[in-house]
A and B are shown apart, each in its own frame.
Chain A
Amino acid sequence: QVQLQESGPGLVKPSETLSLTCTVSGGSVSSGSNYWSWIRQPPGKGLEWIGYIYYSGSTNYNPSLKSRVTISVDTSKNQFSLRLSSVTAADTAVYYCASLQFEYSSGWGWFDPWGQGTLVTVSS
């Protein structure tokens, strides 16, 4: 059974770059039907999709974050990563990594499983 675990700094200074890594166990990031995703939840708010990546390197980002986001994949380490630049307090959130199970017949899918999440606070 695939499991995901986020890791990275819990505190980032304003204007700097947030960097997180998701380690995949029990499965391979090179799996053909999975798109590896980042989702966040600001305190007291709902879920916000950040973006996803396919093992080939193909990406899709939330238009509202696209200019600041980079998602990459390292198949040798079975990991994928998130970089969010020029962060502000509004980027304070619990960040989740998740597997998007893509269904080619519908052009969409569902998120399963998810990691436990990691809180990132943006503060000086």
Chain B
Amino acid sequence: QSVLTQPPSVSAAPGQKVTISCSGSSSNIGNNYVSWYQHLPGTAPKLLIYDNNKRPSGIPDRFSGSKSGTSATLGITGLQTGDEADYYCGTWDSSLGVVFGGGTKLTVL
């Protein structure tokens, strides 16, 4: 079981919006920044969001991040078939070190 809880799967139609939640506790998300990663099987995971809501250069503004209390959320608007991937949240835990969510599989219907 992962320390951070994500829904196993989400789905939406092309052009629509989807959100992926990441729930933790005061020992991790509640007191540390969250980052989000996109992973297509067989490829290197890619950083989408860091410091809760910042986008690296080259990441479109269709991707957004937010944090409230002990939960974080990744939002994706204008869904494209190329967005189909696994998405992971990650942060620091005061006892465990780096922790990740279990991952969420996004299906673009």
A57: Cβ under 8 A from any B Cβ? no
Of A47, A49, A112, most buried by chain B (CB within 10 Å of CB) is: A47
**Beyond A47-B90, A49-B100, is A111–B44 a contact (Cβ under 8 Å)?**
no
Is A49 a contact partner of B88 (Cβ separation < 8 A)?
A: no
Q: How far is the CA of A10 from the CA of B18 in the complex (A)?
A: 37
Is B51 a contact partner of A103 (Cβ separation < 8 A)?
A: yes
Closest beta carbon of chain B to A46's beta carbon, Å: 4
Closest beta carbon of chain A to B93's beta carbon, Å: 10
Chain B, interface residues (CB within 8 Å), range: 20 to 34
Is A108 a contact partner of B33 (Cβ separation < 8 A)?
A: yes
Q: Which residues of chain B (66-109) have a CB below 8 Å from chain A?
A: 88, 90-92, 95-103
Q: How far is the CA of A35 from the CA of B7 in the complex (A)?
A: 30
Residues on the A chain within 8 Å of B56, using CB: 112
Is B47 a contact partner of A111 (Cβ separation < 8 A)?
A: yes
Closest beta carbon of chain A to B97's beta carbon, Å: 6
Residues on the A chain within 8 Å of B32, using CB: 106-108
Of the listed stretches A12-20, A24-32, A74-82, A113-121, name the one at the interface; the rest are far from the partner chain: A113-121
Q: How far is the CA of A114 from the CA of B97 in the complex (A)?
A: 19
